[in-house]
Structure 1
């Protein structure tokens, strides 16, 4: 997973409702087979005065598909990301709630609090733990 670009913070956080989104056939890496996701719902980015970013996902769902077998699973993914950049340009993500996240060894539905970080080049600095806190569902196993 590459680190997202973070824009310069505006002087105030944007107001208004979240934006409706719909993405089809998003390829997720981490399983021994090809997995795609159809993601729908809403999203909103809020830039903090500190330069950090909050990304919300109200009413967001994902249908993930094992492209080899056609097996699917539906997940509610209404989590929130808190994104910060440190003085070394490492980008840290603190995910709260329900999120689908990838690691080098799989695709996981996380519920609770997890964190991970990337350096400025997009290389992983720290991966989130698959043993908690919170609950972790191995999406690759669900789709097997």
Structure 2
């Protein structure tokens, strides 16, 4: 169940960028404006991770660059997120998240994602975090998390910022 939650959140962020952003070839078009919001229940990621419901609202620019070799780069220049504690809406935080997702689909179907810069990520082990640095995670072809979030940099607990 945790793997599905992590996958759902990763896909939520990735899909919002892809659907809201413009798909381009290498050296492609400039990013386009996106905006979306979602309410998430308490403990949506894993028990004890954000033990209260939250709202995540994202706005800014996004683009997807399709590269040869089953690779893509998803950029988010100027992207911002506001995360609000729905149990106490006076507690919220605005985060600058202009990071980049580098995705590669391996021959066996594994999807390797490397994120760089500042990104809003969810992981059943790391929690709901603002990741600053270079981190990666891997899903197998069935959507199972086979490498949790790992890397170099700083992981900031977003839920702790708004509890």
Q: Same fold (TM over 0.5)?
A: yes
Distance in 1 between residues matched to 2:100 and 2:113, nearest whole Å: 10
Give 5+ residue unaligned stretches, structure 1.
none
Regions of 4+ moved over 6 Å? none
DSSP-derived class of the 2:84 partner: strand
1:1-144 aligned within 5 A: 1-2=6-7, 4=11, 12-13=25-26, 15-25=28-38, 27=40, 29-30=44-45, 31-70=50-89, 71-105=91-125, 106-129=127-150, 133-144=152-163
DSSP-derived class of the 2:30 partner: coil
Distance in 1 between residues matched to 2:33 and 2:148, nearest whole Å: 29
User: As a proportion of its length, which structure holds more helix?
Assistant: 2
Q: CA RMSD in A?
A: 2.2
DSSP-derived class of the 1:22 partner: strand
Cα shift at 1:14:
6.5
DSSP-derived class of the 1:128 partner: strand
After TM superposition, the score normalised by the length of structure 1 is 0.86
After TM superposition, the score normalised by the length of structure 2 is 0.77
